[in-house]
Amino acid sequence: MLKITEKAKEVLDQHFEDKDKEPIRIYIASACSGTRLALGIDSAKEGDETINLEGYDFVVDEELLAQAKPMVIDLSPMGIEISSSLVFEEENGCGGGCSGCGCG
């Protein structure tokens, strides 16, 4: 359902090294580089599922979780990425990186 690689866990461990661990939300984010799954600090809300993994609480909207599973949190050259079964279609041909922002 949800997995985290050792490299991604190391990044989270470094981030929370001198902080209290807070719940981490997995959500759909839209930016000039396209639509993707992202992480952010947030508390659980009604309709969320909380998954404890490697000492971290990940909160995900139940509907998103059902559509996106399995999800893997991993480290790429661009930072933490979340792969899933979701396929995001780019609107208006956008999603070509920050230089593509003028295409809307």
Structure confidence at residue 74 (pLDDT)? 97
Q: Would you say residue 92 has pLDDT above 60?
A: no
Write the pLDDT tens digit of every residue in 26-84. Answer: 999 987 778 999 999 999 999 999 999 999 999 999 999 999 999 999 999 988 999 99
Long-range CB pairs of 41-50, under 8 A, 24+ apart, other chains included = 50/23
Would you say the pTM of this structure is higher than 0.75? yes
Residue 11 — very low, low, confident or very high, per pLDDT cuts 50/70/90? Answer: very high
Domains and CATH numbers, the chain: 2-85 (2.60.300.12)
User: Residue 24 gets which letter from DSSP?
Assistant: E
User: How far is residue 21 CA from its own chain's centroid?
Assistant: 17
User: Residue 20 gets which letter from DSSP?
Assistant: -
Could you tell me how many residues make up the chain?
104
Decide: 10 and 79 in contact? Cβ < 8 Å. no
Q: Which helix (H) or strand (E) holds 34?
A: strand 34-41
